[in-house]
Amino acid sequence: MSRVTVNQPDGTPTWIELAVPDLDRATAFYRALFGWEFADGPGYTTCLLRGLPVAALKQASAARRQWTMYLAADDCDATAKRVAEAGGTLITEPAEVAGEARTAIAEDPTGARFGLWQGRSHPGCQLVNEPGTLVRNDLVTAATEPARAFYPRVFDYTLDRNEDMPDFDFTFLRLADGHEIGGIFGVADAKTSGWATLFEVDGTDAVAERAREAGGTAAEPEDGLYGRTAVLTDPFGVEFSIITRP
């Protein structure tokens, strides 16, 4: 278990939210999947595990059906400026969210969308790296070189090739202290670029079956280098992955 009580270091994935067309259906699905409970907040519904925020849902029709990942920003305005200077695009300018955080939405040069999160009273996900919570985000793109140039300019990441997976085009993104926060996964035939969301679970096969029973879909689970994974799709076509780690 990892309990988070303060703002994460600059550039760390720190919050996730999902726009859905039907909140009731979404809460039913994710409750069945992860055991989440829900509380209404300012313009969205907070997903809770043991009473602590782990994600958010908001009612909206979204052209992009994916979880939005927010990276911690010590200074949201300054980071937003660096995004533009590095060749990214600001979709929404920095703004306050009910005293909880200062946020912005951006798009990198590959077209992948992400958020910036400067916590005020809300540091982001307050539980991570345990069943039912966020464990990892990786950028999946065919345009790896622009991505590898962009993110270190914005967040001062260092790049480190994943030698555990020599047959794959995968680069770790690390903070200055060497802490790994995610990676860039090159997929030559990827039609779009996006930050993939991975949740930890206790029993990949059982959670995949719960996804099917709750109105989603699930690919067959597979054993990999870091654990047993499966790709799931919720009732709205949002794809994400789950993993049971050794």
Which of 105, 127, 149 corresponds to the end of one domain?
127
* 183 and 87 belong to one structural domain: no
Q: Which of 15-29, 41-55, 66-80, 94-108 has the lowest mean pLDDT?
A: 41-55
**For the segment 170-202, what is each residue's pLDDT rounded down to a tens digit?**
999 999 999 999 999 999 999 999 999 999 999
SS3 33: helix
* 113 in Cβ contact with 105 (< 8 Å): yes
With a cut of 60, say whether residue 1 has pLDDT above it: no
Both 134 and 169 in one domain: the answer is yes
Residues 150 and 95 in one domain: no
Same domain, 12 and 98: yes
Q: What is the CATH number of the domain that holds 136?
A: 3.10.180.10
In the predicted structure, residue 41 carries a pLDDT above the cut 70: yes
pLDDT value at residue 42:
64
In the chain, the number of structural domains is 2
Tell me, yes or no, whether 95 and 154 share the same domain.
no
Tell me the residue range of the domain where 43 lies: 2-127
Nearest to 93 by CA among 108, 82, 77: 77
Q: Residue 109 CB: number of other CB atoms within 10 A? A: 17
Mean pLDDT of 58-79: 92
Of 67, 102, 127, the domain-final residue? 127
Q: Distance between CA atoms of 120 and 130, rounded to whole angstroms? A: 24
pLDDT for position 61: 80
Give the tens place of pLDDT for each residue, 218-236. Answer: 999 999 999 999 999 999 9
What is the percent of the chain where pLDDT is above 70? 98
Last residue of a domain, one of 70, 96, 127: 127
* 211 and 114 belong to one structural domain: no
Summarize the confidence of residues 29-47 as an average pLDDT.
92
Two structure tokens written together for 21: 């067309």
Could you tell me if 168 and 106 lie in one domain? no
Tokens read off for 65? 């059906």
Of 67, 177, 166, 172, nearest to 125 by C-alpha is 67
Whether 102 and 96 have beta carbons less than 8 Å apart is answered as yes
